[in-house]
Structure 1
Amino acid sequence: MKNIYTYGGHPARRNLTVADLQQAKAGGRKLTQVDAATTEEARMLAGIGVDVITIADLDIEAVRLGAPETFVTGSQTMVQYVTEDEALAAAIACAEKGADAIYTPRGLKTVERLAGEGLAVQGHLGLVPRLSTRVGGLRTIGRTAEEALQLLESFRRLEEAGAYACEIECVAVEALEMIRDHTGLVTYSIGSGSGGDVIFSFLVDIAGDVENPPRHAKAWGDVLSLRKAIRAEQEQAVTAFRAEVVAGTFPDTAHTVGMKPGEAERFREKLANWKSPHL
């Protein structure tokens, strides 16, 4: 564990720092990254020993509560913040609450704006799903030498913009393996093979909790079947509940509390002689 100060000026401890990630890259040590959205998920990942947790930036407080000492990257979406100033303001707010790095899929100007304020910035190269129409749809990037060379140039520009790391999505295995040694960026591989410095997978994919997982996803569990079984049990229970209400058999005496002995009769007699003062 390393002692640090957060961007917000609070003393804290972390399993990793940016410098540690860069040293792990240099030493060939493979690390793991998984996403979390809740305190419970973050606590689970931290307890297992996942090296880096990636989150939606708005979930930072919940995740920090569950994983107070794990390196956390707060992620911004493509459309969440329009201008560089808006992205910077949100990044600073996220870092103030404990994020160690900020991920952005936006362009180099946004990366430069965030990095210029001392934030550790992670970009995105390879297949950027929301920009997939520009490359002919959802496909693997860098399967030809020419495209791999173009990708290497994108690495260079991203590094020059001030990023310390980059998510590399759906890049040809050999391309990333060769590019990795020609960039100082810490590479987070998802669907790009084991050539990345950090191997990233989503929790839903790992746990088998998605109906149609992408080709690069591997499931080590079958949470989806459990979730379907839970839903089926819920439907059976609600169906039975409704049927008994309609039939008049619920609520019954086993699930209600009556008046004390004799009190119902006394109340009935009082009602017979009662007149409302409002009539």
Structure 2
Amino acid sequence: MTGQRPTVADLLGAKGKRQMTMLRYFSLDEAAAAEAAGIDIASVPPDLVAHSRYRDVAPSVFSMTGKTHLDYGSADEYLRFCGEMLNAGADALYCSSSMQTVEYLAREHIPIVGHVGIVPARATWTGGFRAVGRDAETAIRVYEECKAYQEAGAIAVEIEVVPDEVARAISERLDILLWSMGSGAGCDAQYLFAEDILGEGKTRVPRHAKIYRNFAAEYERLQNERVAAFKEYVADVESGAFPEPGHLVGMKDGEFEKFLDGIGG
């Protein structure tokens, strides 16, 4: 989505009409690339969305930020943080806390995004980092949690590593936006990490991710070039090849002699 940044109302109005794209990224360079590529939605660390140049490089990317409930002791602390981030340029806030907190924030008109399926901050309750909803009982619980987010006033839910047919059925039955990370194309947005798309050298790429470029190899090439350049510099200094006359400044004619006289010859 390029041009004007979409509002919450725009995103909700687009539900069921097209698949949107969503990235998790960590730098201004990645933000600028997302803007140029037409990425619709981003998940952005707080320090990045609050950077003075963030909206210069990503003016039209709908940007969510947040921290987990483990970073906050109360709903009031969450609310203060949300206000700071919205004032800094965020469009929505991630919240992994209780439904009571979600409802509290939504009543204060904070656009809240929840999280179901694999939720890193709560993964121990669902058996660790593995798919959620592969049987009817757990799939029903995922549906009920999404419905609870909707009833609490959230605008969207990240649905992570849930079977495609389950996510699709939930999305069809609810008005809330579903942003899919490994949960199929029946949702409202596809969500990947930039580092996975770029192949940045992690030892294990998630099953749901797709690598589009090999940045790890490029980083290795650049590091080799860096070492080679440093070695050439060392050799030039040792041989006297650096600095050359062109790297130096000189004195005006006759001034060096005056200098020597001034310091006693």
2:199: which partner in 1? 208
Structure 1 pair 58/110, CA: closer, same or farther in 2 (3 Å)?
farther
2:78: which partner in 1? 87
1:181: which partner in 2? 172
- What letter is aligned with 1:251? P
The answer (yes or no) to whether the contact 1:121–1:163 under 8 Å persists in 2 is yes
Indicate the percent of aligned positions where both proteins have the same amino acid. 35
Match of 1:222 among 194, 199, 214: 214
SS at match of 1:214: coil
Match of 1:129 among 108, 120, 134: 120
Q: Deviation string for 1:115-135 (max 9, x for gaps)?
A: 120111101110012332333
Scaled by the length of structure 2, what TM-score is found? 0.86
Instruction: Tell which deviates more after alignment, 50-59 or 253-262.
Output: 253-262
2:22: which partner in 1? 33
2:56, 2:38 → 1: CA distance? Answer: 16
Deviation at 1:260, TM superposition (A): 4.5
2:7: which partner in 1? 17
Instruction: Tell which deviates more after alignment, 50-59 or 184-193.
Output: 50-59
Match of 1:195 among 186, 195, 213: 186
1:267 aligns with 2:256: no
Structure 1: gaps (5+ residues): 2-12, 274-279
1:75, 1:95 → 2: CA distance? Answer: 11
Deviation at 1:243, TM superposition (A): 4.1
The answer (yes or no) to whether the contact 1:32–1:199 under 8 Å persists in 2 is yes
Deviation at 1:106, TM superposition (A): 2.5
Scaled by the length of structure 1, what TM-score is found? 0.82
Instruction: Tell which deviates more after alignment, 231-240 or 185-194.
Output: 231-240
1:163 aligns with 2:174: no
In the comparison of the two structures, how many residue pairs are matched? Answer: 261
Structure 1 pair 98/142, CA: closer, same or farther in 2 (3 Å)?
same
Q: Deviation string for 1:109-164 (max 9, x for gaps)?
A: 33122112011110111001233233332111111112111211211222222212
SS at match of 2:73: coil
1:228, 1:261 → 2: CA distance? Answer: 50
The higher radius of gyration belongs to 1
1:214, 1:245 → 2: CA distance? Answer: 47
1:91, 1:233 → 2: CA distance? Answer: 44
Instruction: Point out which structure has higher relative CO (alpha carbons under 8 A, 6+ apart).
Output: 2
- What letter is aligned with 1:218? K
- What letter is aligned with 1:81? Y
- What letter is aligned with 1:19? A
RMSD between superposed Cα atoms in Å = 2.5
SS at match of 2:263: helix
1:238: which partner in 2? 230
The answer (yes or no) to whether the contact 2:199–2:211 under 8 Å persists in 1 is yes
Instruction: Tell which deviates more after alignment, 179-188 or 42-51.
Output: 42-51
- What letter is aligned with 1:227? Y
1:43 aligns with 2:32: yes
1:131, 1:235 → 2: CA distance? Answer: 43
1:56: which partner in 2? 45
- What letter is aligned with 1:194? A
Structure 2: gaps (5+ residues): none
